[in-house]
Amino acid sequence: QKGPDYQYDAYISCCGQDYEWVVKILLVKLEEEGESHFRLCFGPRDFAPGEYFMNNVQNGISQSRKTLCLVSKSYLENEWCSLEIQLACSKIYYHGQDPLVVVFLEDIPNYRLSPYHRLRKLIKQNCYINWPENPEAENVFWAKLREALEDSREQEPSLIQFKVIK
């Protein structure tokens, strides 16, 4: 699937402890502010009521061009989040595209990532974004995140290289 076939620009994969940050900051920044407004699938808001959770997750990921993984220590301990990464990674094999956009919301020691092969590979390639500790770097963070989520309908999918922002 490409471009207009997708209902969403990105599926947001995050744990419950990060919902407040997603609602108060991320959704506002990406859906309402800036030149381009993104269509994001956020489970608590967009999942079909009464549908099995697993079906909602599969539908959300398959109807999204990308999966935005908001990684925190709590995220790595959540089995549903692990499943979301696996489902998103299956798009690499079935559609030949890499749909993951990874944001680390806090410092994560390497040993905590050992069960997550795809996340480790992205880290080795510097293909991720860190939420900055310095508030002055937040504008650069949002610009990099927007770049990662931008619609590349005319281009072949490729990995976007990021410099790690501290």
pLDDT number for residue 5: 81
Least confident of 6-10, 27-31, 155-159: 155-159
**Angle of CA points 71, 42, 127, to nearest 5°:** 35
The count of other CB atoms within 10 Å of the CB of residue 124 is 8
**Run of H or E residues at 144:** helix 138-149
| pLDDT tens figures, 28-73 | 999 998 778 899 999 999 999 999 999 999 999 989 999 999 999 9
The alpha carbon dihedral of 91, 96, 117, 69 has a sign of: negative
SS3 101: strand
Average pLDDT in the 121-129 region?
74
